[in-house]
Amino acid sequence: MYERAVIFDLDGVIVDSHDVMRRAFVTAHAEVVGAGEAPFAEYERHQGRYFTDIMTIMGLPLEMEGPFVRESYRLEGEVAVHDGVRELLAELRTLGFGLAIATGKSGVRARSLLRCLGLLSSFDHVLGSDEVARPKPAPDIVQRALALLGTAPDSAVMVGDAANDVIAARQAGVTAIGALWGALDADDLMVARPEFVLRSPVELLQVLPLPVVAT
């Protein structure tokens, strides 16, 4: 159980998966929909939600999930870890913070990606949106992470690159921190009014509480 904890979004915060995600989406669109430009920019605006929920919102076939997931697994080794993230996670672990991932990806895919990148062991828990009743911006996934970590909401922060992360954190009673280093829509993130806004991962250490020891 942890007195203090940090909950992270995955894509755009821990990893830069933009190009891999685009390639997987374009392939899935071509296989299922056929000719025409894949509306990837619109897809990105809904990041944080589960894939099939996004397809429903966009009016695209749910069958796109199969090839999208297949390509995501095939390309996961090409996903980049954001500069400074490995060092930040190591320092947070040394300081005794509980660490969790709360992502719009499925839990299985998120854990596979982190394992591939050598980061899975950096986190106490990795949660996907398919493992809670409601995805972000609902607070369910943040609340679940808190329960698993044994941390009170007012002793935790959520680091995300999208408005949905901020809204989910706020509804869960957790301090919301905006990560500009991977944000696709900084204006949208800022409109959600996170309590802190950071331009690099290392800046997180400047806004967290004093070091604590895990119990």
Closest-CA residue to 113 (of 9, 10, 182):
10
> Are the C-beta atoms of residues 193 and 174 closer than 8 Å to each other?
no
Query: Does residue 11 carry a catalytic annotation?
Result: yes
pLDDT band at 180 (very low <50, low <70, confident <90, very high): very high
Q: Which tens digit of pLDDT belongs to each residue from 102-121?
A: 999 999 999 999 999 999 99
Topology at the third CATH level for domain 5-16+80-206: Rossmann fold (3.40.50)
Instruction: Show the CA angle centred on residue 176, arms to residues 175 and 179, nearest 5°.
Output: 140
Within 13 A of 202's CA, how many CA atoms are on the CB side?
3
Q: Output the pTM of the full model.
A: 0.92
> Are the C-beta atoms of residues 90 and 51 closer than 8 Å to each other?
no
Q: Which tens digit of pLDDT belongs to each residue from 31-73?
A: 999 999 999 999 988 877 789 989 999 999 999 999 999 999 9
> Active site residue: 9, 16, 124, 140, which one?
9
List the domain boundaries for the chain: 5-16+80-206, 18-78
Query: Does residue 9 carry a catalytic annotation?
Result: yes
pLDDT band at 210 (very low <50, low <70, confident <90, very high): low
> Active site residue: 11, 16, 124, 140, which one?
11
